Structure 1
Amino acid sequence: MVAFGKKLKERQIQEWQGYYIDYKLMKKKVKQYGRQIEVGSIDRKNVLKDFSRMLDSQIEKTVLFILEQQGHFASRISALGKEQESLLAQSYLSKITELREAYRGVGKDLLQLLYFVEINAIGLRKILKKFDKRFGYKFTNYYVKTRANHPYSQLQQVFKHVGLGAVVGAISRNLSDLQDCQGSYLSIYDQPTLSLQDPVVDLMKAAADRLNHSTNFLEYLGQHALIMQEELPTPEEEIVDDERYHFMSLLLNLANTFLYMVNTYIIVPTADDYSMSLGAAPTVCGIVIGAMAVAQIFSSVYFSAWSNKSYFRPLVFSSICLFVGNIMYALAYDVNSLLLLISGRLFCGLGSARAVNRRYISDCVPLKIRMQASAGFVSASALGMACGPALAGLLQINFKLHKITVNQDTLPGWVMAVAWLFYLLWLCLSFKEPAREIEETRIAQEASGSVENEEMEKGLAKPFLSSSDGYKQDEDDEQECDASEEAPKVSHGAAKSMRSAYKLLTPSVKVQLLIYFMLKYVVEILLSESSVITAYYFHWSTGKVSLFLASIGLTVLPVNIIVGSYISNMFEDRQILLASEIMVFVGILISFNVVLPYSVPQYVIAGLVLFVSAEVLEGVNLSLLSRVMSSRLSRGTYNGGLLSTEAGTLARVIADATITLGGFLGETRFLNFTLVPSLLICISSIFATFYTYNSLY
């Protein structure tokens, strides 16, 4: 992967070169502080003071240039506005085309300024992160806290852009008016939901939205997939070679995602009944449900590695594992074997190809539709989660076919086995393996590129350089920062192991992964124990449990529409994150059975609050995670998506194990026992969020 400093230099506008934040200078300064602290020539207090002043000076230089450019754009738009009034008053419609081209010219120049601001914002975030890694300070916390909310904050000018937004709006409105001047009285303010007709306006709006982290529904939903994008923007859209993109193959990946989620949750309403029919306690359903997640912990790694070489073969293997696993699950009833039942679920978990599905979208889908594909991935998961329990509720049949029993317990296995068989045939007939030559070229280019200082990017365990090797590291890293910007021979690109990936995690990333673990744990407890809880307290049938689970599953898309289209544009992600965690905490408290008799309204309200809050939390959590995570985790086998998947899968395993352990305490204490860990983990995540709040910027 090419170093950030080199990428920044390549994408700078030469005429504006003196106005960019001097990332290379500040990086040298960070290394200089390391040497000075080691020899005792400067203390921590003076380091903070000196570096703060340097940052203030760099930001002020950039902000004043932005304001100066805003003035130029305002003058040009004002002059064009007067010309527009004159032309329309005199009905010189023939010159409107020229005027529109003039507005487009301003728009293209403004787009360059928007990219200028975005590059500086990214550079500022990276140097703050680098400083914290190097010295073990919470410098970002201090700097953001003291600068962001000050009435004269220049830091806010880099991250919030009211002035630039007004310029974008002026160009958009005037271009729209010129296009509709033949008689339409509507403006962009009357039709805010309609797609903008001029390409340059779309580009400006997209760039401005990125600066303010404004999202629409598709973008917000797509963030759940944690498919990390190129960190530095470019005015020219980088599109994956069309030869690597095949719509049917993408559809097959999404179908795999959907069927796997159906397979995961189709047994939840009947797992307790199935366990009892084999002579086990109903709470053994925790082991039955969780067995799939246990196997997924391992399958995610080898599928992620396998996708470096092929996409087709892993999907074939996945389908075969799931076909065999479901046959085993269905046959366990007549064999009367709990071991076969659990083994069948383990086989199903070994077929989890979500890492392949995610990698295919990241590597083989053109950038212009990648967000839609990511949203499709998340939607397929959400629909599968809702359809699984709903389908189980419909499978209320009981008969024998020769010596094989077909009932509500075994039908989920038979139905999914048939579904995976048909999917396997469709896969073999329609999937197109992408050309690997292009991918190998990209990997080779990444391997030859330079990267940040190894000590910094590895996430230092020590606050200061404490050995003579430290000087050599600094000298080597200086080669990256000299005028030639030549790459060192050794590459430190994508993480090569889970251990090296873990070393890249900053405290902010670890907190985000803890939050992800918490929300998956809470949701798994809610869903997996639903059949046991409702049977004991309310005597619900399988159909009622299925209806309840399907109903809360169907809230996923509406909730994401509301949050993605409205709430995320009104509040900062970190504000929504903290509020969602508190609501999860409230939902857990409501769920406890303490004094009053446990009632259906209490259970349903608590379940909705928990599930909806966790869904909101997942979106903003992964959005923040993609911004604070090292760019070295965007590619390769051990990527950010794999880490989040492993964290979520581990949470499900522990949650299902908790349910099984709770069964030993008896049904009267079972509910509260399973909720206590959820409460403790939730409280821990809230405190951890407060600890890193100002670094989530």
Structure 2
Amino acid sequence: MVNFGKVLASDQLEEWKEYYINYKMMKKKVKQYVQQTQDGGRNHEQVLKEFSRMLDEQIEKVVLFLLTQQGHLASRLEKLGQQRAILTEHSDISQVSQVREAYRQVGLDLVKLLRFVDMNATGIRKILKKFDKRFGYRFTDYYVSTRANHPYSQLQPIFKQVGIVAVAGALTRNLASLQDHQGSFISIYDHPSITLKDPVIEQINNSVQKLTHSTTFLTFLGQHAMIIPEDVQTSSEDLVDDQSYHFMSLMLNLVNTFLYMVNTYIIVPTADDYSVSLGAAATVCGVIIGSMAVAQVFSSVYFSAWSNRSYFRPLVFSSIMLFSGNVLYALAYDLNSLTVLILGRLLCGLGSARAVNRRYISDCVPLKIRLKASAGFVSASALGMACGPALAGLLQTEFKIYAVTFNQNTLPGWIMSLAWVGNLIWLWISFKEPDHFAKENAVNTQSSDSGHGRNDNLEGGLAQPLLTEAKERQGENADNNENDPKESHKAATSIAAAYRLLTPSVKVQLLIYFMLKFAMEILLSESSVVTTFYFNWSTSTVAIFLAVLGLTVLPVNVIVGSYITNLFQDRQILVASEIMVLIGIASSFHFGSSYCVAQYVVSALITFVFAEVLEGVNLSLLSRVMSSRLSRGTYNGGLLSTEAGTLARVAADMTITAAGYLGQSQLLNATLLPSLVICVASIAATFGTYNTLY
């Protein structure tokens, strides 16, 4: 992250300077504590007590000042309310604009106070993390649990802002009643859908939302896609202007996202039949489905690197690879070759451009519509996941043209190859390379003789729109590299370097992501084999079942993003969802002589739906706790989460194939057992880092 000490010094208000936490002093103290304990001058217990007392005093200073300022704002609002009542009583509309401007000035002062709270809340988090890192303790867990839940908690005013939210509510209500130049009988409490079009109120709402971690549906989906940085709502600058934004290029990225997800899941209902038709076991479907994910492990890296230089060329390459892979997949039937079949799926995985799709939205879409574009990315993925199996269910026909067979096994390949040809043509005609790449190419051409490299900002991928060039030059968080400030602000240059930036809480979030993707892949990939064995379902029935599961994605995200995350903390939803996924997995096991459809369907719905809830909340938390050094460059947080999910899919599909050697009667329990173990491990790890997830 950006060096917080420098940011605090440069951004704090001069008149409030003495009331901010003294982060610089505490940072030096932590360094002294380390030296003193190493020299034997102090024991750990003495250090913990002194550090706790010092931090308590700093927090108390902030809270008392915060309460004083809240009182000043409340007093001003009370006086303005009296003025407004007099104006309304005498119908003196001519003075309303003056009162409104006075309310807005209070609003601007409230925004300043919210930023004051935000800076101090961030400082508290950072100094606790620094202390833990230096001493190897879990002091944060102890400190937060003892202070946050105490009846006289001074952390609550900073992290919950009950008083500030009340002031914001009073200000919003009064401005809403004045927006039509006269008293209004419509209340924001009786009509929550009423939106006040006032820039001051929008700033207040965004600041409060960031502080409280409450969210909207669009913000939730943006974090779900690992596109929206934590404090995107409060950014006053944007590196993308309206003139450089190209709507059709964004649409092509979303179409690529949709088609890739269709391509991934269109073969799931028929993969077992296809493998049997080629002389292999039905459980080889795990290899067929998983080979695409195997290739994606590698393609995600080179596509992420390629998107530092271009978006058009990797998308063209993606379409070509996916076209070729689907043709081979379809031809494998007439060639009677399992090798060709798997090779086709490998080529499809090598064409996975999701890193490019995600990066394009981060880099090339204006801030004001980036939330909607991020929601479009998640929606396109969800729709493709549902449409893939549904489309497979419609392809129940068989005919020949010359020596080429078209049936339920080969038609998915032929249909998708035609789709990718159409996408390639549309891409070639309509896609526009972003202006910053065009300018970069021109600069590189002019400076090639001098050996200058690419612009450092472009090398970083421009994936962190919140950080201006000036702030970039301030250097990254000293936690990561205190002795080398020139290096500490750079993006990670390898997977190993990115891994070293991961804190325990981030590692746990990636483990949770691995777990939920593993469980979902087991459920989806073996569904055809399991339902055929136990219930004798047809391909069409399996396709409908998978399509229904896919269609739950968006409604679940709407409920969680619009309501649930505003009622509960993300970490509470995280734990509850993990437990429900565990219940879903446990209830899927086959015990006894019979296995009914109701048990399978209900347990599958519980597993899938709560895995979806878990995914959104997990990535939302991940976007907050992950270092901003991982928000740009090739080896970014989005790539790490993609790799974790892809490796989970590979592991799940390989598990299905390996379990096939035990026989289809043992397949279900053999594949569910690893899911159960990983789920239990992720729950235990979550409780171990629970107090750091705030």
TM-score normalised over the length of structure 1: 0.93
Deviation at 1:144, TM superposition (A): 0.6
2 CA distance for matches of 1:105 and 1:685? 48
Deviation at 1:230, TM superposition (A): 6.1
Q: CA separation of 1:614/1:76 partners in 2, compared to 1, >3 Å: closer, same or farther?
A: same
2 CA distance for matches of 1:22 and 1:631? 23
Deviation at 1:199, TM superposition (A): 2.1
8 Å Cα contact 2:480/2:488 also seen in 1: no
**462, 477, 480: which is aligned to 1:457?**
480
8 Å Cα contact 1:633/1:640 also seen in 2: yes
The amino acid of 1:53's aligned partner reads R
The aligned counterpart of 1:333 is: 333
Deviation at 1:337, TM superposition (A): 0.5
The aligned counterpart of 1:7 is: 7
Deviation at 1:193, TM superposition (A): 2.1
Alignment of 1:469-508 (within 5 A): 476=483, 488-508=485-505
Q: Would you say 1:587 and 2:602 are equivalent positions?
A: no
Provide the alpha-carbon RMSD of the alignment.
1.8
Deviates more, 1:193-202 or 1:76-85: 193-202
2 CA distance for matches of 1:659 and 1:644? 23
8 Å Cα contact 2:114/2:208 also seen in 1: yes
Deviation at 1:174, TM superposition (A): 0.6
2 CA distance for matches of 1:157 and 1:596? 58
Q: Would you say 1:442 and 2:457 are equivalent positions?
A: yes
2 CA distance for matches of 1:634 and 1:422? 33
Deviation at 1:231, TM superposition (A): 5.3
The aligned counterpart of 2:275 is: 275
The aligned counterpart of 1:622 is: 619
1 CA distance for matches of 2:235 and 2:229? 15
Alignment of 1:176-191 (within 5 A): 176-180=176-180, 182=182, 184-191=184-191
2 CA distance for matches of 1:531 and 1:170? 57
Q: CA separation of 1:8/1:593 partners in 2, compared to 1, >3 Å: closer, same or farther?
A: same
Q: Would you say 1:426 and 2:426 are equivalent positions?
A: yes
The aligned counterpart of 1:125 is: 125
The amino acid of 2:162's aligned partner reads V
The aligned counterpart of 2:206 is: 206
Deviation at 1:449, TM superposition (A): 4.2
Deviation at 1:452, TM superposition (A): 2.9
2 CA distance for matches of 1:395 and 1:543? 9
The aligned counterpart of 1:671 is: 668
The amino acid of 1:450's aligned partner reads G
Deviates more, 1:33-42 or 1:153-162: 33-42
The aligned counterpart of 1:290 is: 290
Give 5+ residue unaligned stretches, structure 1.
459-472, 478-487
Deviations 1:282-325 (A, max 9, x none): 10000000000000000001111111111111111111100100
The aligned counterpart of 1:144 is: 144
The aligned counterpart of 1:77 is: 77
Deviation at 1:357, TM superposition (A): 1.1
1 CA distance for matches of 2:413 and 2:75? 69
2 CA distance for matches of 1:451 and 1:686? 32
2 CA distance for matches of 1:523 and 1:398? 31
Deviations 1:136-165 (A, max 9, x none): 110111111111100111111110011111
8 Å Cα contact 2:303/2:355 also seen in 1: yes
Q: CA separation of 1:658/1:495 partners in 2, compared to 1, >3 Å: closer, same or farther?
A: same
Give 5+ residue unaligned stretches, structure 2.
441-453, 460-468
The amino acid of 2:419's aligned partner reads A
8 Å Cα contact 1:509/1:625 also seen in 2: yes
The aligned counterpart of 2:648 is: 651
Q: Would you say 1:660 and 2:691 are equivalent positions?
A: no
Give the 4+ runs in structure 1 shifted more than 3 A: 180-184, 230-235, 241-244, 443-449, 488-492
1 CA distance for matches of 2:487 and 2:516? 39
2 CA distance for matches of 1:322 and 1:559? 30
How many aligned positions are there? 669
Deviates more, 1:187-196 or 1:234-243: 234-243
8 Å Cα contact 1:330/1:411 also seen in 2: yes
8 Å Cα contact 1:447/1:491 also seen in 2: no
1 CA distance for matches of 2:72 and 2:356? 49
1 CA distance for matches of 2:367 and 2:119? 19
Deviations 1:243-274 (A, max 9, x none): 54222111111111111101000000000011
The amino acid of 1:618's aligned partner reads E
The aligned counterpart of 1:349 is: 349
2 CA distance for matches of 1:231 and 1:199? 17
Alignment of 1:44-443 (within 5 A): 44-180=44-180, 182=182, 184-229=184-229, 236-434=236-434, 435-436=436-437, 437=439, 440=455, 442-443=457-458
Deviations 1:527-556 (A, max 9, x none): 000000110111111111010000011111
Deviates more, 1:560-569 or 1:257-266: 560-569
Deviation at 1:8, TM superposition (A): 2.5
The aligned counterpart of 1:468 is: none
2 CA distance for matches of 1:2 and 1:133? 17
2 CA distance for matches of 1:580 and 1:314? 37
Deviations 1:352-380 (A, max 9, x none): 11111111111222222222211111111
**601, 605, 612: which is aligned to 2:602?**
605
1 CA distance for matches of 2:105 and 2:641? 43
Deviation at 1:181, TM superposition (A): 6.2
Deviations 1:501-550 (A, max 9, x none): 11111111111110000000000000000000110111111111010000
The amino acid of 1:457's aligned partner reads N
The aligned counterpart of 1:640 is: 637
8 Å Cα contact 2:206/2:234 also seen in 1: no
Q: CA separation of 1:75/1:245 partners in 2, compared to 1, >3 Å: closer, same or farther?
A: same
Q: Would you say 1:689 and 2:671 are equivalent positions?
A: no
Deviation at 1:596, TM superposition (A): 5.3
The amino acid of 1:258's aligned partner reads F
The aligned counterpart of 1:482 is: none
Deviation at 1:673, TM superposition (A): 0.4
2 CA distance for matches of 1:108 and 1:681? 49
Deviation at 1:22, TM superposition (A): 1.8
2 CA distance for matches of 1:674 and 1:178? 62
2 CA distance for matches of 1:238 and 1:121? 25
8 Å Cα contact 2:250/2:361 also seen in 1: yes
Q: CA separation of 1:449/1:184 partners in 2, compared to 1, >3 Å: closer, same or farther?
A: closer
Q: CA separation of 1:8/1:428 partners in 2, compared to 1, >3 Å: closer, same or farther?
A: farther
1 CA distance for matches of 2:418 and 2:430? 18
SS in 1 for 2:405: strand
8 Å Cα contact 1:221/1:375 also seen in 2: yes
2 CA distance for matches of 1:452 and 1:179? 44
The amino acid of 1:225's aligned partner reads A
8 Å Cα contact 1:11/1:234 also seen in 2: no
The aligned counterpart of 1:37 is: 37
Deviation at 1:210, TM superposition (A): 1.2
SS in 2 for 1:495: coil
Deviations 1:484-514 (A, max 9, x none): xxxx444442111100111111111111110
1 CA distance for matches of 2:361 and 2:20? 33
1 CA distance for matches of 2:231 and 2:124? 13
Q: CA separation of 1:491/1:679 partners in 2, compared to 1, >3 Å: closer, same or farther?
A: closer
Q: Would you say 1:558 and 2:573 are equivalent positions?
A: no
The amino acid of 1:389's aligned partner reads P
8 Å Cα contact 2:147/2:155 also seen in 1: yes
SS in 2 for 1:405: strand
2 CA distance for matches of 1:231 and 1:96? 34
Deviates more, 1:342-351 or 1:214-223: 214-223
The amino acid of 1:538's aligned partner reads F
The amino acid of 2:211's aligned partner reads L
Deviations 1:629-656 (A, max 9, x none): 1121111111111111000000000000
TM-score normalised over the length of structure 2: 0.94
Deviation at 1:3, TM superposition (A): 2.1
